Amino acid sequence: MTTTAPALLTTHGEIDLSARSFWALPAAERDAAFTVLRRENPVPWSRPVESDLLPPELNTKGFWSLTKHEDIRAASRNAEVFSSADGVIMESFAPELTELVQSFIAMDAPRHTQLRGITMDAFKPKNMRTLEGWIQGHARDLIDEIADLGEGDFAVLVSKVLPARIFRSMFGMPDGEMGDRTVEACQRLLAFTDPETCGDKTGLEILAEAMTEIHQTAAEIVPQRRANPGNDLMTWLALAEFDGKRMTDDEIGAFLVMVGVAANDTTRHASAQAIHLFSQNPDQRKLLVEDVPGRIDGAVEEILRCSHPLNHMRRTATQDTVVRGQEIKAGDNVVLWYCSGNRDEDVFEDPFRFDIERSPNPHITFGGGGPHYCLGAALARTTLKSLLSEVYTRIPDIHASEPDFLIGNFSNGIKRLPATWTPESAWR
């Protein structure tokens, strides 16, 4: 359906959310632009995004933006009007490809309800306790390995390694080539905007290759788990039921892609962002170190608010609607900018201040609620809490220099983060 929105070259004034150059700007400049939008044009229209996944002739849809916390929450909770079925990233693909890459986050009821119900059965309390034990053990072991080094690239030594180890434990990935290949594919999934990762390939080629490799892994492992159940998430998914139905092999493969992103990309970047935030705010690091057990939960929530590992999710309007006086037509794309909602002055006092004692802290990093609220939110919190408790108890003076940020409109990531710290043995 053709939108009636104006054919603008930019989003608002000189702000162009569709431009690659906008997402290459320093974070402070992007935050300042969203501040202008929240104040002057909170539901702006943008031209089609400069895409790394679609050629221009197929990339013809512009989009509306929701920049206010209240509007993002409302849209998140109204799946009947703001649908996920056409996909949750900027670009629209064929339904078959959308499902293979985005699993049930790109579905609406009733199918979304059914598949989410099956996965909730897999994440029952007994299984969650097992996962939490793995997370805590891996965090402790990894800091054992790096604590006496005194320096290194935290993003490479820790942020990239810990989620990979947790992911392999969760899914019972065997040691060797298959597990290595699968983890590496997961870590490429959201890097399709990064020239360093893409090399001479297109973003779509990077995404398709990574997705194919992960589905191949699922195709090998799922039949084995059905025949010989183990104590891992792949087994739990293969055997889980909701209303008497189980996931198909393809559905488990798509779920593995989705969890691969969450485990190996979003949590990975949040942990690097945490070290960067504390390095930039030594008063807050001192506050945490004084009472890690008492302040770690608040610290995790503020890290999630400030780091927002994903900048946005997309929805598609299923009917004509109005947001803040702006008419949105059925079929229009609508982007929920979590990076803007988490800085909304109407919700957060002094929103650009990093404050681990901020309360309340109703951030929308995991979505604004509703049926698509992030299924992995508890695991992400547990991973950050376990890792940062180890770090700021054992190498508390860790300090990072300037990060090398991933460039892109979807993932808010750090590729490299050189850091120094006093070796743990020197504290004893």
pLDDT of the residue at 350: 97
Instruction: Write the pLDDT tens digit of every residue in 345-367.
Output: 999 999 999 999 999 999 999 98
Bridge partners, 421 (sequence order):
none
Q: Is the pLDDT of residue 316 over 80?
A: yes
Residue 103 pLDDT > 70: no
**Residue 317: phi, psi to the nearest 5?**
-70, 130
For every residue of 213-262, DSSP letters joined together read HHHHHHHHHHHHHHHS--SSHHHHHHH--BTTB---HHHHHHHHHHHHHI
For residue 5, pLDDT beyond 70: no
Asked if 308 contacts 338 with a C-beta cutoff of 8 angstroms, the reply is: yes
What pLDDT sits at residue 98? 56
* pLDDT score for 104: 44
Q: What does the pLDDT look like over 241-278, one tens digit per residue?
A: 777 778 788 778 877 777 777 666 678 889 999 999 99
Instruction: Look at residue 318 in the predicted model and tell me its pLDDT.
Output: 96
Residue 112: HSE in the Cβ half-sphere, 13 Å Cα cutoff: 20
Alpha-carbon distance 358 to 337, whole Å? 21
Average pLDDT of span 2-27 = 83
Residue 422 has pLDDT above 60, yes or no: yes
pLDDT above 70 covers a percentage of the chain that reads: 89
C-alpha span between 79 and 370 (Å, rounded): 8
DSSP 174: P
Task: Find all residues with CB under 8 Å of 326, minimum gap 6, and list them.
Answer: 43, 64
CB atoms under 10 Å from CB of 105, counted, come to 22
What architecture is the 20-427 domain classified under in CATH? Answer: Orthogonal Bundle (1.10)
Asked if pLDDT for residue 102 goes beyond 70, the answer is no
Say whether pLDDT at 389 is over 90: yes
The reported pTM is: 0.90
Average pLDDT over residues 395-408: 93
Side-chain half-sphere of 135: how many Cα atoms within 13 Å? Answer: 21
Query: Could you read off the pLDDT of 27-80 as tens digits, one per residue?
Result: 999 999 999 999 999 999 999 999 877 778 878 899 999 999 999 999 999 999
DSSP run (H or E) holding 399: strand 399-400
Half-sphere exposure of residue 330: CA atoms within 13 angstroms, side-chain side:
4
Higher pLDDT, 423 or 209: 423
**Average pLDDT of the chain to the nearest whole number:** 86
Token pair, residue 98, equals 């959308």
Instruction: Determine the pLDDT at residue 369.
Output: 86
pLDDT for 413 equals: 87
Cα dihedral 24→28→30→33 (10° resolution)? -150
* Alpha carbon 134 to its chain's center: 21
Calculate mean pLDDT across residues 174-198: 77
- How far from each other are the two terminal CA atoms of the chain, in whole angstroms? 67
CA–CA distance, 30 with 127 (Å, rounded to integer): 40
| Banded model confidence at residue 3, pLDDT cuts 50, 70, 90 | very low
